[in-house]
Amino acid sequence: MALGAAGLLVGAALVVHEVDSPAFGVQPAPRADAPECARIAKGYPSGLGGQRRATVSMAGVAVWGDGAVTLRCGLKPPEPTIEACIDIDDVDWVWRDATSRGGSKVLVTYGRDPAVEVRISDRVAAIDEVLVELSRVVRPIAQTAKCIGDEDVPAL
């Protein structure tokens, strides 16, 4: 019985270490300690896209599932861009085609400081629902600019 409990504790510690490790592929953004990031972190949902939120001790970072959805708050806002942009519930998201590879899509809030980046794996079936929920989460960060257009947004 004690051996089983010890194994369970070691396994849990390894999972937490893996999520917190840069090797997992998630690193805090440069301004992750911004007050806006701490404020929105209180609204991170326990579940997203059919995935449970993992325990992460890095400021400004949230992970759901085994990395199926990751969020990083504290990035420098994007400059005006011609990249595809979409408004979801009054939050503008820029689709970062250049960094959307390896089976995932990367989107960054536009016109909010600090910016929030979300990476969504192609394994997540309800990408639209994930973006609606995350838009609700990041909406408290004041918007200072809007995208110029959203006509050419690729199918998410």
Residue among 56, 71, 57, 59 at smallest CA distance from 31: 59
% of the chain exceeding 70 in pLDDT: 77
Would you call 120 exposed, middle or buried from its count of C-beta atoms within 10 A (0-12, 13-18, 19+)?
A: buried
The span from the CA of 107 to the CA of 152, in Å, is 15
Kindly tell me the sign of the dihedral angle through the C-alpha atoms of 136, 80, 94, 67: negative
CB distance 120 to 130 below 8 Å:
yes
CB distance 77 to 115 below 8 Å:
yes
More confident residue, 29 or 125: 29
In sequence order, what DSSP letters do the residues of the chain get, joined into one string?
Answer: -HHHHHHHHHHHHHHHHHHHSGGGT----TTTT-HHHHHHHTT--SEETTEEBPP--STTEEEETTTTEEEEEEEPPPPS--S-EEEETTEEEEE-GGG--SSEEEEEEESBSSEEEEEEETT-S-HHHHHHHHHHHHTTSPB----S--TTPPP-
Least confident of 22-26, 75-79, 124-128: 22-26
Please report which confidence band the pLDDT of residue 11 belongs to, taking 50, 70 and 90 as the band edges.
very low
* φ, ψ of residue 113 in degrees (nearest 5): -130, 115
- State the average pLDDT over residues 100-122: 91
Q: What is the pTM of this model?
A: 0.80
- The pLDDT, as a whole number, for residue 125 is 85
- State the average pLDDT over residues 97-106: 76
Q: Is the confidence at residue 1, as pLDDT, over 90?
A: no
